[in-house]
């Protein structure tokens, strides 16, 4: 009986994640999680480092979401961003920028 608990807990967490993802609402506008990150200096630098096609895709999603928001509409359900399809495209670049900034701060202290 004890061996089933981790699997049940894992399924429960996956179900909760999917529910929360849909409850946030940004997927109904066609946005991905990384499109909603608050833009500070680190995020702006990470966005600047994105490959051109990824950057263009991001800008399309943001402009479409802004247009839908102004019209107080959402996309048809078949066009919503799915939890499984949401990739963290900005995260590797952001981690790199934060690491470089911390390294520069460390060197500036010396």
**Residue 50 in tokens:** 């994105």
- Cα separation, 69 vs 76, in Å, equals 14
Q: Structural domain boundaries of the chain?
A: 28-109
Could you tell me the pLDDT band of residue 59, with boundaries at 50, 70 and 90?
Answer: very high
pLDDT > 90: percent of the chain: 71
pLDDT the model gives residue 10? 84
Q: CATH top-level class for 28-109?
A: mainly alpha
Which backbone phi and psi does 81 adopt, to 5 degrees?
-70, 125
Q: pLDDT per residue over 72-102, tens digit each? A: 999 999 999 998 889 999 999 999 999 999 9
Q: What's the pLDDT at 4?
A: 56
Do 30 and 79 contact (CB within 8 A), yes or no? yes
- The residue with greater pLDDT, 12 or 76, is 76
Q: Is 66 helix (H, G, I), strand (E, B) or coil?
A: helix
């Amino acid at each position: 009986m004890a061996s089933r608990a981790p699997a049940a807990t894992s399924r429960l967490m996956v179900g909760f994640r999917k529910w929360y993802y849909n409850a946030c609402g940004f997927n109904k506008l066609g946005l991905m999680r990384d499109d909603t990150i608050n833009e500070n200096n680190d995020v702006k630098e990470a966005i600047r480092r994105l490959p051109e096609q990824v950057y263009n895709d991001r800008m399309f999603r943001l402009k479409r979401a802004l247009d839908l928001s102004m019209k107080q509409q959402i996309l048809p359900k078949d066009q919503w961003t799915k939890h499984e399809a949401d990739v963290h495209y900005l995260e590797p670049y952001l981690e790199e920028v934060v690491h470089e900034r911390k390294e520069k701060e460390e060197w500036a202290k010396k």
